[in-house]
Amino acid sequence: MITTGELKRGQRILIDKDPFVVLDLHVQSPSARGASSLTKIRARNLRTGQMVDKTFRGGDRIEEPNLELRGVQFLYRDGDEFHFMDKQSYDQFSLKSEDLGDAAGFLKEGLESIRSVVFNGQVISVDLPNTVVLQVVETAPAIKGATAQAQTKAAKLETGIEIQVPSYLESGELVLVDTRDSRFVSRAKS
């Protein structure tokens, strides 16, 4: 068990016997004497993807889930199902796109730097690396002279997601994308 003072972003906790990941937290100190501080968090359910806002009093104890992280490789997508292989046991499993949430847009065949999140013996989601390299398949033509200003344009990537990229990028280029906020980081080397 941990206390509210030990909470931080990215930490996994149990709320009503369900595993959640803390996305944002804010500590509020009361103005009244003797009152305890409040920790307000925004968390996402690892099983359902549902977002919740919760407030804890200073000193509250929070239970941590018994999660196991295993290295996996993304094999292929078949309609709404994404197929993975455990790197240690070579067992294969699949998750639906609603189980994966936003992570589904970053999965490229053969991607190996992924970990499965196992809760009570069942794979409930996957942990992506912070960045992935994806190819731009569709974007507006490059705008001449646009390098001096920070202009962006929409670009569709090989996995189907759309992100904002600098206006000098063209179709066919490889880009490094931050999986935490779907943000362009830089060009990637081939």
Tens digits of per-residue pLDDT, 40-82? 989 888 777 788 999 888 888 888 888 888 889 989 988 888 8
d(CA 59, CA 61): 6
pLDDT average, residue stretch 73-102: 87
Tens digits of per-residue pLDDT, 133-186? 888 888 888 666 655 557 888 889 888 889 888 888 888 889 988 887 888 888
**CATH assignment of 131-187, among 2.40.50.140, 1.10.390.10, 3.40.1390.10, 3.20.20.70:** 2.40.50.140
Q: Is the pTM of this model over 0.85?
A: no
* 125 pLDDT higher than 70: yes
The answer to whether domain 67-127 and domain 131-187 are alike in fold is yes
Tokens of residue 66, six digits: 């018994």
Contact 128, 156 (CB under 8 A): no
Domain locations in the chain as residue ranges: 2-62, 67-127, 131-187
pLDDT score, position 53: 92
E-strand ranges in 101-172 read: 114-119, 122-127, 131-139, 152-157, 162-166
**CATH assignment of 2-62, among 3.40.50.300, 2.30.30.30, 3.30.70.270, 3.40.190.10:** 2.30.30.30
pLDDT score, position 149: 59
* CATH placement of domain 67-127: 2.40.50.140
Confidence of residue 32 (pLDDT cuts 50, 70, 90): low
**Other Cβ atoms within 10 Å of 185 Cβ, number:** 13
Residues 6+ apart with CB under 8 A from 70: 86, 87, 88, 115, 116, 118
